[in-house]
Amino acid sequence: MTLADDAITWFDQNARDLPWRQPDTTAWGVLVSEVMLQQTPVVRVEPAWRSWMTRWPTPADLAADPPSEAIRMWGRLGYPRRAMRLHACAVAMVERHGGRVPSDLEQLLALPGVGTYTGRAVATFAYGQRHPVVDTNVRRVVSRAVEGKPDAGPSTTAADLVAMAELLPEEPARAARASIAFMELGALVCVARSPRCPECPFEDVCAWRRNGSPALEGPSRKPQRYAGTDRQVRGLLLEVLRHATGPVPRQRLDLVWNDDVQRARALAGLVEDGLVEPLDAEVFVLAGDAPRVPPQSL
């Protein structure tokens, strides 16, 4: 039995029943779930995904609405640039692919917001192709079970893709199952802190365990601060704009943060990123929310 076999057997008995794993889920549904899951936990994604798919069942449905609606529907999932990119992605799919999610990996990777992980995940989970799909969970599982190290590097490398590719079964459908099984194992059992090794199908063969489960030596990664950062200020500004029904005067935005310099920088950043549009120097809206100027009638 290979690691992939053991992982699949475990997955068959322990997989969570997530809506985007239902067999009738469209490629668009898979793509939306993958983008929402970028850095956001499953429990928060689940209701958001259901609402999103009900409102926009196809890429063309989303592309027909302004980005502001996507940003609002995104709610508090975090990193709202993802909502912008998902909207831009829908527009690109309408323009380039007839409103369909492409199955070709190169075409997927060319879409806004679709990177190494997401492109491979869609090609694999929506279209059943055989690609290594490597996320933070897979990196940690492979790092421990195969390489005997307590944790993986901070981002996916070409070497990570090769390492995972070597573990995949030949048959594409089974390779896809192996990838989702490794991910689930990393999410539920081989977790970052306090892994549940007694529940792990790799317990007897795990190289990290055989090494005595050594702890990480140096400081793992830089702690990500939030309080007092531009990120926090951007979040506060955007929250006001999300809930606004009309144009928002600068005065109202001034209330969310008292450091003028930082607040101005954060707002400029939101404009720069295309999340916010200035109607003039003193009035702002979410991107795409600018009042439509009716055609001049004579």
Catalytic residues: 34
Of residues 24 and 204, the one with the C-beta less far from DNA: 24
The tokens of 16 are what? 């969570």
C-alpha separations of 145 from 93, 160, 161 in Å: 39, 14, 16
Burial class (CB in 10 A: 0-12, 13-18, 19+), 49: buried
Which is closer to DNA, CB of 219 or CB of 296?
219
HEC string of 220-265 equals CCCCCCCCCCHHHHHHHHHHHHHHCCCCEEHHHHHCCCCCHHHHHH
256 neighbors 270 (Cβ within 8 angstroms): no
Question: 4 or 121: whose CB is closer to DNA?
Answer: 121
Instruction: State the minimum distance, in angstroms, from the CB of residue 214 to DNA.
Output: 15
Write down the least CB distance from residue 244 to DNA, Å. Answer: 14
Question: How many CA atoms lie within 13 Å of 215's alpha carbon, on the beta-carbon side?
Answer: 5
Q: How far apart are CA 213 and CA 224, in angstroms?
A: 26
The residue among 258 and 297 lying less far from DNA, judged by its C-beta, is 258
Taking the complex as a whole, the smallest distance from the CB of residue 247 to DNA amounts, in Å, to 20
The residue type of 4 is A
Burial of 271: CB neighbours in 10 Å, binned 0-12, 13-18, 19+: middle
Distance in Å, CB of 81 to DNA, minimum = 5
Least distance (Å) between residue 134 CB and DNA? 9
Which positions lie near DNA, rule CB under 7 A?
A: 18, 20-21, 33-34, 37-42, 44, 76-81, 85, 112-119, 121, 135-137, 140, 154-157, 183-184, 186-187, 191-193, 219-227, 229-232, 234-236, 238-239, 269
Q: With respect to DNA, which residue has the nearer C-beta, 17 or 170?
A: 17
